Each structure stands twice: as structure tokens, then as C-alpha cells.
Amino acid sequence: MKALTLLSLLGCLITANKAKIFSRCELAYMLHEEGLDGYEGYSLANWICMAFFESGFNSAAEDDNADGSTDYGIFQINSRVWCNNYRSPTENLCHIPCTGTVPNPTPRSGKSRCRIPAHVIADWTMHCKGRDLSEWVDGCDL
């Protein structure tokens, strides 16, 4: 069930029709409400740290890559593998569009292979892993 929650949240944060740059605590509150604290063994502070280094908490963040793909949203979901931007070839493993409001990126059939992208984990490893991350949630009303 938590996997569906995470995938729904990631989909909603890819990019929304009303782009938003979240404050640290706004995003922490949203992720906390969705039950991500402890999901896959990662604390809420880890998720917030990861989001900061991926997008600066900007839901409209886009980054074009040399291979013609684009990374989208808070967690920089890649169009070549994870979502469909309707401009470049894609595997679309999450079965979601890269932009727009995405209410539930995981098909109820459970056939999606949508996961946290490896480049996101790599950035988390470089910037967040093994560090005191308490500052990412300090002062937030959780």
C-alpha cells in the first residue's frame, strides 16, 4: 500500500498544472501526511534532502539530457524510462505522462515497474546518505 502512495505522490509532484516551489516544511508536511517517513527505510529528512538536491522543491523543474530525454518535477523523473513526454522515445514504466496532474501513476493491475530512479538514489547518496539530516525537518510542524 505504501508503494502505491509513494508512486501516487511522485506522480503528483512530477509537474502539476499549477507549478509550485514548495517550502522545505510544506513539502515535509505533505510527504509526512502521505506516510513516507520510513518508506523503503528512508526517513522523512532523507526524502526532503533528496528533493532539494533534485529540484530545489520546484514541481515545474525540467532538465534536458544529452540523450534527448527530460527529467521532470520534484524528484526529476526521467522521460526515457519512467514517464511519457510525448516528444522522445520512452519505456514509460510508470505508465504516466511527464507533465500535468497525475492522480495515480500506478495501474490498479499492479503491472507497473515504477521505482525510484537510479539517478535520484545516486544524488541522494552523494548529498544525503550518512549525514545528520535533522535540519531538513527541524522547525516543521509535523
pLDDT at site 108? 33
Q: Which domain holds residue 101?
A: 2-136
> Which amino acid would we find at residue 128?
C
67 flagged as catalytic: no
Q: Which of 37, 63, 67, 71 is catalytic?
A: 71
Nearest to 49 by CA among 138, 118, 141: 138
**pLDDT given at position 73:** 86
| Cell of residue 109, nine digits | 493491475
Is 135 among the residues known to form the active site?
A: no
Q: Is residue 79 part of a domain?
A: yes
Q: What is the pLDDT of residue 81?
A: 87
- The per-residue pLDDT for 53 is 94
What CATH number is attached to the domain comprising 71?
A: 1.10.530.10
Count of the separate structural domains present in the chain: 1
Tell me, yes or no, whether 142 lies in a domain.
Answer: no
Q: Is 5 exposed, middle or buried (0-12, 13-18, 19+ CB in 10 A)?
A: middle
Residue 43 covered by a domain: yes
Q: Which of 13-22, 52-61, 83-92, 106-115 has the weakest average pLDDT?
A: 106-115
Q: pLDDT confidence of 111, banded at 50, 70, 90?
A: very low
Check residue 28 and give its pLDDT. Answer: 94
Would you mind telling me the total number of residues written for the chain in this entry? 142
Beta strands in 25-90 (DSSP E): 62-64, 70-72, 77-78
Model confidence over 32-78: pLDDT tens digits?
A: 888 888 887 889 999 999 999 999 999 888 999 898 999 888 888 88
| Cα–Cα separations (whole angstroms), residue 66 to 20, 69, 91 | 26, 7, 17
In a domain, 141, yes or no: no
Q: Note the pLDDT tens digit of each residue in 4-41.
A: 445 445 555 544 446 789 999 999 998 888 888 888 78
